[in-house]
Amino acid sequence: MIVYGDPQFEIESSLATRRLRELLQLADSRRLDHLRDFLIATGQIEQAIEDAGAENSAITRATDLAADHFVRAFLDRGKSEKPSSTPLQAAAACIDIALAHNDRLRLKLPEGFAFYTLYPEQYCDAALAWSRSRPPTRTLVIGIRSIGTTLSAVVKATLGLCEWHAERITVRPTGPPFERTVQLRRDRSFESAIVVDEGPGLSGSSMACVARALRDGGVRDITFFPGHAQPPGAATSENVRTLWSEIPAVVRPAITSDLSQSRAVQSLRQSTEGLFRSPIAEILDLSAGKWRTLPGLDSIHATPELERAKYLFRSENRRALLWKFAGLGPGRALEPLSRIACERQSHLAAAGWCPPPLDLEFGFIATEWIDGRTLTPLDLSGPMLNHLAQYIAFSVREPLPTSEQQQSLARLAEMTRWNLQKAGLSTTPPPIPNNPQALPSSGDGRLAPHEWIRAGNKTLKTDTWGHDFDHSIIGPQAIFWDIACAIVEWRMTPAQIPRFLQALGDAGQARSDFRDMQFFSSLPNCASNLRFHIAAYCAFRIGTASLSPDAPALKHYSALAADFLDPDGGRPI
């Protein structure tokens, strides 16, 4: 099944330069969060230039300078002396030189930083532990792009502070996803090597192929610095599994199952105690579907593999705060992921749609926990149907560029065809709709009943950001993705769908900033768009249900897809 995507974006070099200058201004402080954002952004620029095949020592130097400054600040945290900003200024100058020869860049999102609470500083911890366990040697640090640009620079900077001679390169393994290969230049001057990545993933083949190439080049002292302690997954070949068992790995995760020993979680604890002015009585890990242990949520379908980390802190004064991971470093247009998510939630909260964010730290956003009743499809009364329509109309964003809108539809079409086929459904997927006009963008992406609570006389949205640029195949989509999500998840009847579309049209036309687009007034004539996006949404949910696996959910979404797409009397739209 197709579920995962490869989030990436293009940016003009002039805009990249401007964004990096903005990040640099914030980074000129002792706050590690800002320094980390600048470091990750620099690594992303290096990835884009390296992937374009350009020889550019200036960008490598920039990432090295940013990493050196970050590592020094991390190791010196708690000290009153502010580190010199000279390395950051030098890094910015190197970036200016590097970008002068590149008009446009294609940046990939480092998934570990963006989605999976992978912190650059945990590789600093790993390098310190490794260097203290052996005598110094000439060491080659190899980062696997994309994320390996930043991570290899952190490892090299840490070893340098320990007075080791270390050099670094980055590589992009190629070939089939589970059988990666790479070529390295033979260099017998290195006595040891460290392979750095966020993996292992399903096959472990990326790090394994680098180790194999090192062995072929005569290096025998090889160590893996992976992002977690788990072995490679189900797609691992016997040769790769053997290699992983032979090569030692050093792992220092920032967050572990023992939350009392997790640096990030303990920092969030201190911030929560400061906000509530009360000691913490309990910390609940609600990540990876564990939120279903809360009362009334055990039967809801979840996709733990795509979920972000989240922790609930209950204080002794009976207040509670939910911290949810929004991401580290920049996302689209090189704007910090966590800041954009926080601004998004603030915008919706100001209009009364959700609780406001209270704090932002370590890439997590804090929201006060509100006890309320989780909604179900049975709550879809006339007022709730109107409430849904008004929320979708309020939350829409600016239209996607024409080329991006076409790419988004093509992604959905390929995923729909493949997943329906793999699910054994013989129905023919609807054709890609022709949309000559600019369509507003989806503003949410998650509109199921359990995403809403009723607290007193308020109906609030509980999860409002991060779904248009996550690790899934979906990515940014037009508003029809939200419409399809609402229709499917709320199990709207043939009688409710036209009323919902009418309510959405009325709510959209009331928005002055979209009134001239004449989109919302044409909603009653959008059957082809709706059929296509409903099929795509069901196909995606079939894919997510296959990950767990969740047999009831798989059966449910397969039946819905067959129902909506049946050419002989299927559900009317």
Q: What are phi and psi of 570, to 5 degrees?
A: -65, 175
Predicted confidence band at 513 (pLDDT cuts at 50, 70, 90)?
Answer: low
pLDDT score, position 80:
64
Per-residue pLDDT reduced to its tens digit, 154-205: 999 999 999 999 999 999 999 998 899 999 987 778 999 999 999 999 899 9
Q: Can you tell me the mean pLDDT for 444-464?
A: 95
Predicted confidence band at 428 (pLDDT cuts at 50, 70, 90)?
Answer: confident
Q: Model pTM?
A: 0.94
* Model confidence at 515: pLDDT above 60: no
Predicted confidence band at 129 (pLDDT cuts at 50, 70, 90)?
Answer: very high
Predicted confidence band at 139 (pLDDT cuts at 50, 70, 90)?
Answer: very high
Q: Can you tell me the mean pLDDT for 428-444?
A: 87
pLDDT score, position 261:
85
Return d(Cα 255, Cα 248) in angstroms, integer: 21
Is 192:167 a contact under the CB 8 Å cutoff?
no
* Model confidence at 15: pLDDT above 90: yes
DSSP string, 262-311: -HHHHHHHHHHHHHHTS-EEEEEE-TTTGGGGSTT-TTS---GGGPPPEE
Percent of the chain topping pLDDT 90: 75
DSSP string, 355-390: PPEEEEETTEEEEE----EEP-GGG--HHHHHHHHH
Predicted confidence band at 402 (pLDDT cuts at 50, 70, 90)?
Answer: confident
Per-residue pLDDT reduced to its tens digit, 270-301: 999 999 999 999 999 999 999 999 888 888 88
Counting Cα atoms < 13 Å in the Cβ hemisphere of 152 gives: 29
Alpha-carbon dihedral sign for residues 143, 146, 149, 154: negative
pLDDT score, position 435:
80
Tell me, rounded to whole angstroms, the distance of Cα 219 from its chain centroid. Answer: 35
pLDDT score, position 390:
96
Return d(Cα 273, Cα 545) in angstroms, integer: 38
Q: Which residues contact 81 (CB under 8 A, 6 or more apart)?
A: none
Angle at alpha carbon of residue 543, lines to 414 and 373, rounded to 5°: 125
Per-residue pLDDT reduced to its tens digit, 16-59: 999 999 999 888 766 899 999 999 999 999 999 999 988 789 99
Residue 402 burial by Cβ neighbours in a 10 Å radius (0-12, 13-18, 19+): exposed
Q: Which of 442, 432, 433 is nearest to 400 (CA)?
A: 442
* Model confidence at 12: pLDDT above 90: yes
Q: Can you tell me the mean pLDDT for 413-428?
A: 91
Return d(Cα 495, Cα 502) in angstroms, integer: 12
- Average pLDDT over the chain reads 92
Q: Can you tell me the mean pLDDT for 391-395?
A: 95
pLDDT score, position 275:
95
Predicted confidence band at 511 (pLDDT cuts at 50, 70, 90)?
Answer: confident
From 75-89, 312-326, 513-527, the region with the lowest mean pLDDT: 513-527
Q: Can you tell me the mean pLDDT for 87-100?
A: 90
pLDDT score, position 245:
95
pLDDT score, position 256:
87
Q: Can you tell me the mean pLDDT for 49-72?
A: 92
Instruction: Tell how strand 452-455 and strand 458-461 pair up.
Output: antiparallel
Measured distance between the N- and C-terminal CA atoms of the chain, rounded to whole angstroms: 27
Q: Which of 377, 355, 380 is nearest to 300 (CA)?
A: 377
Is 410:403 a contact under the CB 8 Å cutoff?
no
Q: Can you tell me the mean pLDDT for 84-100?
A: 88
Counting Cα atoms < 13 Å in the Cβ hemisphere of 184 gives: 26
Per-residue pLDDT reduced to its tens digit, 484-502: 999 999 999 999 999 999 9
Secondary structure class of 453 (helix, strand, coil): strand
Is 80:2 a contact under the CB 8 Å cutoff?
no
* Model confidence at 354: pLDDT above 70: yes
Q: Which of 318, 326, 303 is nearest to 463 (CA)?
A: 326
